[in-house]
């Protein structure tokens, strides 16, 4: 059951449409870090006018469908987001 949930989460994150994934590499100064994908989805669902200016990322086309997956991924990434918000360097590097 947990393995299946992780597989679904990984698949969703690899699609590139997940708001959490989009906001992770946005690197916009002043953009929210904690629950950023969930907040982007919620902002979009409530008629936010300029997600690119606020979050540094474009909202997913189907924000209502993306919201549960973003909330789950943001929760899993919460310790890293809090550390980044506090300015604590964890020495974690990604990418190539």
Domain positions in the chain are 2-86
pLDDT at 75 over 90: yes
pLDDT at 13 over 90: no
Residue 27, class by beta-carbon neighbours within 10 Å (0-12 exposed, 13-18 middle, 19+ buried)? Answer: exposed
Global pTM reads 0.72
What secondary structure letter does DSSP report for 16? S
Least confident window among 15-19, 81-85, 91-95: 91-95
Counting Cα atoms < 13 Å in the Cβ hemisphere of 82 gives 5
pLDDT at 2 over 70: yes
What secondary structure letter does DSSP report for 58? P
What is the spatial distance between Cα 63 and Cα 40, in angstroms, rounded to a whole number?
Answer: 8
Which residue did the predictor score with more confidence, 82 or 92? 82
Confidence of residue 83 (pLDDT cuts 50, 70, 90): confident
pLDDT for res 17: 65
Return the structure tokens found at 58: 């474009």
CB 47 within 8 A of CB 64: no
pLDDT for res 12: 56
């Amino acid at each position: 059951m947990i393995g299946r949930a992780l597989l679904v989460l990984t698949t969703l994150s690899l699609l590139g449409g997940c708001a959490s994934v989009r906001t992770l590499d946005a690197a916009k100064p002043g953009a929210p870090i904690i629950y950023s994908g969930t907040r982007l989805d919620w902002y979009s669902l409530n008629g936010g006018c300029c997600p690119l200016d606020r979050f540094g990322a474009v909202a997913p086309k189907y924000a209502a469908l993306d919201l549960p997956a973003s909330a789950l991924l943001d929760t899993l990434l919460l310790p890293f987001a809090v550390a980044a918000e506090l300015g604590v360097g964890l020495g974690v590097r990604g990418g190539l």
